[in-house]
Structure 1
Amino acid sequence: MFETWDEKWFLLKQLVKRDFTTKYKESFLGIIWSFLNPLLIMIIFTVIFSVLFRREIRNFPVYFLTARIIYQFFVDATGGAMRSIRANRSILTKIFVPRYMFAISSICYEFINFLISLIILFGVMIVTGEHFHLMMFASIIPFIFLIIMIFGVGLILAVLNTYFSDIGHFYSIFALILMYASALFYPIEIVPANVQAIFTLNPLYIAISCFRDAIMYHVFPDILSLMYLAVFSVMLFGVGFLLFRIHEKKLVLQL
């Protein structure tokens, strides 16, 4: 069952559709909340931090939102993949379904939310007078590497969370640390030079920085940064793929 690509594609569409239906079934605002959420968070952070960093950061709303949507996509997509096996135990214990499809569907669902957030970003750019430029298309490059990294991390977390249910609690703490370590709402220049070197080891910060360069500063992302992001992402994907393949048949037994 679900052995051909057509069958897997049908399953993927049904799983993503189910996630949307489940999330918005009892919501008054429905899908509108996906537009309001990043916008409200941006307004709150702008009111609080634009005063502190008004001289250091040009166009704080766009500066913050370009980082926020990347960070949120990473955390939500990897977190959804992490919970995907346990959340679908009722299906997995009854019929054979490729286990990785649940992780992929969670990431695809969050990708759609990212596209909605991207609409908000473009709207804020228009309102704040930020110029659009052809160099913005260069943001696709770091974003592709980001997706590769998300798949790798998501598969690793899906396996670990199946064996150790406490992983979810630790990941929440990790996500909070990651937010502060990715310079979402402050300029990295305020961080001591020796600490800045540590920031450059954070692949998510690199992805955000490259994304900002293309979207906000209209320059091509730094080549060395892209190379580092590419190598790190491919390595994580390789580890996640191998780990999931090794444990795929054992995961249901752990539920």
Structure 2
Amino acid sequence: METRTVVSEFLGTLLLVFFAVGSAVLAGEYIGTFGIALTFGFVMLALAYALGPTSGSHLNPAVTIGMLLARRITVRTAVEYWIAQILGAIVGAALLYLLANQIPGLKTDEAFGSNGWGDRSAVHINLGGAFLAELILTFLFVYVVLAVTHRVAVVGFDGLPIGLALAVVHLVGIPLTGTSVNPARSLGPALFAGGSALTQLWLFILAPLVGGVLAAMVIQFTHPPEEPKVIADERSVL
């Protein structure tokens, strides 16, 4: 294990949850859907430049599974990233919950930036629709990440399309499910929201992972690797 890459994934996911989900929890009524979507995109863009050269700035188990299946990281690295992302999301959500509880009148139960369908959806989308939406939205995001990064590292202008893609999927997805496209991002807030946020959580873990798998499959046809091989440091492949 290379400590700096795992710490980067932990810290990045923590900051993504705290600031991006925090925009919905703390300022949603002031900035609206457009503002929340931009916050997710801008935070992802900033973290891509800050942490991309170190860990690739996955910050998302769906991105990591896409990288794994595209043969850019090893299974060991993927597992390390998943653990770091999950822990980072939980700590980020815990800090957000602590801050939110310092604001009089702000309710954190049953919502708290969590995802959902049915009566927990702004448009009351059903289970099947929610699964399809999350799968397609995640597919787009992970596909863009895989397409613009030839290795794990984010370099040059790679961070710009990644941030834009995350903003776009949130513009579409927030009215539908609140937008997950990231199992870790969904898990952290759901643990503190409780109730139906937890009972519906499985979809927002499974659908994004399936979307990530499909993106990794399709990228092989549109951006085939020239000489696929695992690099010695176990973090990236050509």
Could you say whether these structures have the same fold, taking a TM-score greater than 0.5 normalized by the shorter chain as the test? no
- Please state which structure has a larger fraction of its residues in helix: 1
Greater Rg, structure 1 or structure 2? 1
For normalisation by structure 1, the TM-score amounts to 0.40
For normalisation by structure 2, the TM-score amounts to 0.42
Larger relative contact order, structure 1 or 2 (CA cutoff 8 Å, min sep 6): 2
